[in-house]
A and B are shown apart, each in its own frame.
Chain A
Amino acid sequence: MSAPTSSFRDGRGFDRILVWITLGFLIVFSAFPLVYNVIMSFQNVDLFTLASFDRPFVGLDNYDEVLTRNATQIIVRNTAVFVVLSVAAQLSIGFALALFFQQRFPGATWLRGLFLAGWIMPGLVVGGVWSFILAGDFGVLNWLLQTLGVTDDKIFWLSDPSKSLYSVIIANVWVGVPFNMILLSVGLAAIPDDIYEAAELDGAGRVWRFLTITLPLMRAQLGAVISLGIIFTLQQFDLFAALTQGGPSNGSNVMQYWSWELSFQDYRIGQGSAVSVLMILVVIGVAAIYVRSTRHEHAA
């Protein structure tokens, strides 16, 4: 048997091949568009020169333009708030639900599956439904709050610039909960029962068991869910388009929507690409932290 084949069957080559298959596919289909975006961010791109690389390079002009706009500060801040609050809420609600449905009672699995409904609704529909629920004049959320006596006046969730971002966050949390919950359920199910039983015999309370057993053993799952959650949240686009269009007056605008607006509505494609590159920088940070965190997984 020749060396490469044996390496494939028994040695390190097997892992390498597995990795390269995926990596190769991604380099062909994903790396190119990414690099293309990066290149465009340094160029003066016209709607009609999209297909050719022969475009004037303008150095950092696009970045300069984008970073000196009045709206930049508020949009960056909105993006941070959107990501942090969305991920925190999705994760805590998702984890709480996963733990709850981990208990044994009739119909637990069955009911848990229903949460996937949030994952399968088309973006346009989720946006439409939430825009009816959150509407100021006739929205059912205002009706509920008034009926419960929480507020006397109708709240204009979508058109009040101080609230519109939070209404998109509410809808986005709804979208993200099933993803978090289902994946964390998988992680919880993989923890052997006997570990808990042993701890219980040792007299460990619920909270203590959660902190000392569940959390450490869920480390890999949590890391994956959080980092993917951040990336997903940074990609949330449909809800902005359907609910507020980033408005009013950029009150709920975030970088991913802004980048699209610049490229596809204002046709300032170079600037739109510059914004997308700034987003890539953020994700580089997130990815680096995630990769670092995986170093400790094997210890667990």
Chain B
Amino acid sequence: MTIRTLLAGTAAIAASPAFAQEQVELDLWTIDDPGEYHYVMAEEYMAANPEVTINLRTVQFPDMVNDLARAIATGDSPDITYIDNPEVALFASRGLLMDLSPYIEASDIVNAEDIFPGPLASVSYDGGIYGIPRGANTIALYYNADMFEAAGLDPDAPPQTWDELYEAAKVLTKPEDNVYGLAFSANGNEEGTFQFLPWVQMTGGDYDNIATPGAERALTLWKAFIDERLASPDTLIRGQWDSTGTFNAGNAAMSISGPWEIPRMSEEAQFDWRVALLPVPDTEAERASALGEGDNVILANTDEPEAAFAFLEFLYDNMDRVWNEFGYLPASEVEVVDPKFPEAYAVFEESMQYARNRGPSPDWPQISKAVQTAIQSALTGQATPADALAEAQETISDVVN
């Protein structure tokens, strides 16, 4: 128990003396299992605030939206829940989430300006703030420095631009040794969109403006990776985790994925692995990266708004712990003392500045589906990148308007 946790608890009690005496019960839904973020935090909070009981329920990540919607429909919804960030708009647009802006304004702990722009955008909808990011993650380029050296590339100068990435992948690909130049994920689910959208955003496009020359260039490059066997054809059905598994095993020289890979990589990768920022289309281009992880939100129909917000404040106040203890990046300006994997942390922390939200749109899943369809039909050769993106744009325009 740190002094700060105690203080946070005290602050919460001070904020609304009315429930200081009474027992408060909060239902919290999370994607964590015991021993992970929400369980640890809830335990600490209950220890510091004996009048609060937090009932946790684990919901699998892919089931969260459906379970939540079902619970709302039948009146069994929790007070607080985790939501993946592109889904916040869906719930906020229906008035199902509590607007936290007045609470944040009155708060001594949460300051919206300290939250990075990407994560803040992910909880903002139509002028309100509907959640507090519990942390964040993003993607970057992992590379095998030993393979760089063996191939005559400078391991201190990882690819900066798309062209350099392509050239490097070409040099590094060694079919006779079962080594692909690059591993990434073009999976036909949210992961595909998550990986592809930053490429579009770097060229000035976005989810609602996807049939652009820049996006076409990105998709054409992705197609070249697959067609020229610089990346495995199984990239189309494999997630980031399983793709990066092949990088760890030495079957791919580079891999695009996020910080969640680091614990396993540090154990299994028997080589000098390093991380670099995602390459950009041209040296001048603006940077962009994906934004992952989720948010702590309060349901609009909660009976205990103050108590729920006090717990959110506590979570926010412990943002500096998320990297070392739970493996994701802080979503706000905090100093992480003595970060684990300092070099990787430095890259991901910088990348976080460029992380962009997916959406916001209440119909995000349908938009995302259109993007995935475009990626998959272009990579399988069923449509040209331009046609695939044009079709996606048509669907997306229908959805957005």
Please say whether the chains A and B touch (CB closer than 8 A): yes
Residues of A participating in the B interface, judged by any CB pair closer than 8 Å: 47-52, 135-138, 156, 158-161, 164, 243-249, 251, 264-268
CA A249 to CA B65, docked complex, whole Å: 24
Query: B111 at the A/B interface (Cβ < 8 Å)?
Result: no
CA A249 to CA B187, docked complex, whole Å: 10
Asked whether, in the complex, the Cβ of B189 is within 8 Å of the Cβ of A158, the reply is no
Q: How far is the CB of A39 from chain B (nearest CB, A)?
A: 15
Query: A137-B178, A156-B233 are known contacts. Are A249 and B376 too (CB-CB below 8 A)?
Result: yes
Q: How far is the CB of B389 from chain A (nearest CB, A)?
A: 14
CA A115 to CA B376, docked complex, whole Å: 38
Kindly report which residue of chain B lies nearest to residue A47, judged by CB atoms: B69
Asked whether, in the complex, the Cβ of B232 is within 8 Å of the Cβ of A137, the reply is yes
Kindly list the 7 A-B residue pairs having the minimum CB-CB distance in the complex, ordered from nearest: A51-B73, A247-B188, A249-B376, A248-B236, A47-B69, A156-B233, A159-B236
Residues of B with C-beta under 8 A to A247? 187-188, 236-237, 376
Asked whether, in the complex, the Cβ of B237 is within 8 Å of the Cβ of A164, the reply is yes
Residues of A with C-beta under 8 A to B94? 48
Q: How far is the CB of B90 from chain A (nearest CB, A)?
A: 8
Asked whether, in the complex, the Cβ of B178 is within 8 Å of the Cβ of A51, the reply is no
Residues of B with C-beta under 8 A to A161? 380, 382
Asked whether, in the complex, the Cβ of A249 is within 8 Å of the Cβ of B232, the reply is no
Contacting residues of chain B (49-106) with chain A, CB-CB under 8 angstroms: 65-66, 69-70, 72-74, 90, 94, 96
In the assembled complex, 8 residue pairs joining A and B whose CB atoms fall closer than 8 Å, in A order, are A51-B74, A136-B233, A161-B380, A244-B237, A248-B379, A248-B380, A249-B379, A266-B369
CA A14 to CA B109, docked complex, whole Å: 73
CA A264 to CA B65, docked complex, whole Å: 9
Asked whether, in the complex, the Cβ of B66 is within 8 Å of the Cβ of A158, the reply is no
Asked whether, in the complex, the Cβ of A248 is within 8 Å of the Cβ of B237, the reply is yes
Q: How far is the CB of B236 from chain A (nearest CB, A)?
A: 4
Most buried by A among B65, B74, B237: B237
Asked whether, in the complex, the Cβ of B73 is within 8 Å of the Cβ of A48, the reply is yes
Partner of A48, one of B69, B188, B382: B69
Partner of B234, one of A50, A52, A159, A245: A159
Residues of A with C-beta under 8 A to B74? 51
Q: How far is the CB of A83 from chain B (nearest CB, A)?
A: 22
Residues of A with C-beta under 8 A to B377? 249
Q: How far is the CB of B376 from chain A (nearest CB, A)?
A: 4
Asked whether, in the complex, the Cβ of B188 is within 8 Å of the Cβ of A249, the reply is yes
Residues of B with C-beta under 8 A to A49? 73
Query: A137-B232, A247-B237, A249-B188 are known contacts. Are A264 and B66 too (CB-CB below 8 A)?
Result: yes
Most buried by B among A245, A247, A266: A247
Residues of A with C-beta under 8 A to B66? 47, 264
Residues of A with C-beta under 8 A to B70? 50-51
Asked whether, in the complex, the Cβ of A245 is within 8 Å of the Cβ of B189, the reply is yes
CA A245 to CA B238, docked complex, whole Å: 10
Q: How far is the CB of A245 from chain B (nearest CB, A)?
A: 5
Residues of B with C-beta under 8 A to A137? 178, 232, 234, 246, 251
Asked whether, in the complex, the Cβ of A249 is within 8 Å of the Cβ of B373, the reply is yes
Query: B365 at the A/B interface (Cβ < 8 Å)?
Result: yes
Query: B266 at the A/B interface (Cβ < 8 Å)?
Result: no
CA A138 to CA B236, docked complex, whole Å: 16
CA A156 to CA B379, docked complex, whole Å: 14
Partner of A160, one of B187, B189, B233, B366: B233
Residues of B with C-beta under 8 A to A164? 237
Asked whether, in the complex, the Cβ of B234 is within 8 Å of the Cβ of A158, the reply is yes
Residues of A with C-beta under 8 A to B73? 48-52
Kindly report which residue of chain B lies nearest to residue A248, judged by CB atoms: B236
Query: A48-B94, A48-B96, A159-B235 are known contacts. Are A246 and B366 too (CB-CB below 8 A)?
Result: no
Query: A248-B380, A249-B382 are known contacts. Are A158 and B232 too (CB-CB below 8 A)?
Result: no
Asked whether, in the complex, the Cβ of B365 is within 8 Å of the Cβ of A136, the reply is no
Taking A50-B69, A137-B178 as given, write out 10 further A-B residue pairs in contact, using a Cβ cutoff of 8 Å, ordered by the A residue number. Answer: A47-B66, A47-B90, A48-B94, A52-B73, A158-B234, A161-B380, A248-B237, A249-B377, A249-B382, A264-B66
CA A244 to CA B234, docked complex, whole Å: 10
Q: How far is the CB of B17 from chain A (nearest CB, A)?
A: 36
Asked whether, in the complex, the Cβ of A136 is within 8 Å of the Cβ of B232, the reply is yes
CA A159 to CA B233, docked complex, whole Å: 6
Kindly report which residue of chain A lies nearest to residue B370, judged by CB atoms: A266
Residues of A with C-beta under 8 A to B251? 137-138
Q: How far is the CB of B178 from chain A (nearest CB, A)?
A: 7
Residues of A with C-beta under 8 A to B369? 265-266
Q: How far is the CB of B258 from chain A (nearest CB, A)?
A: 20
Residues of B with C-beta under 8 A to A135? 234
Q: How far is the CB of B388 from chain A (nearest CB, A)?
A: 9
Q: How far is the CB of B399 from chain A (nearest CB, A)?
A: 10
Asked whether, in the complex, the Cβ of A266 is within 8 Å of the Cβ of B234, the reply is no
Query: A48-B94, A164-B237, A245-B189 are known contacts. Are A251 and B380 too (CB-CB below 8 A)?
Result: yes
Query: A137-B246, A247-B376, A264-B66 are known contacts. Are A159 and B188 too (CB-CB below 8 A)?
Result: no
Asked whether, in the complex, the Cβ of B187 is within 8 Å of the Cβ of A245, the reply is yes
Residues of B with C-beta under 8 A to A244? 237
CA A164 to CA B94, docked complex, whole Å: 39
CA A138 to CA B233, docked complex, whole Å: 12
Residues of B with C-beta under 8 A to A249? 188, 373, 376-377, 379-380, 382
Residues of A with C-beta under 8 A to B72? 48
Most buried by A among B73, B188, B234, B379: B234
CA A265 to CA B189, docked complex, whole Å: 9
Q: How far is the CB of B226 from chain A (nearest CB, A)?
A: 9
Q: How far is the CB of A253 from chain B (nearest CB, A)?
A: 9
Residues of A with C-beta under 8 A to B380? 161, 248-249, 251
Contacting residues of chain B (222-267) with chain A, CB-CB under 8 angstroms: 232-238, 246, 251
Asked whether, in the complex, the Cβ of A265 is within 8 Å of the Cβ of B365, the reply is yes
Kindly report which residue of chain B lies nearest to residue A132, judged by CB atoms: B242
Q: How far is the CB of A7 from chain B (nearest CB, A)?
A: 43
Query: A51-B74, A137-B251 are known contacts. Are A266 and B366 too (CB-CB below 8 A)?
Result: yes
Query: A248-B188, A266-B365, A268-B366 are known contacts. Are A158 and B69 too (CB-CB below 8 A)?
Result: no
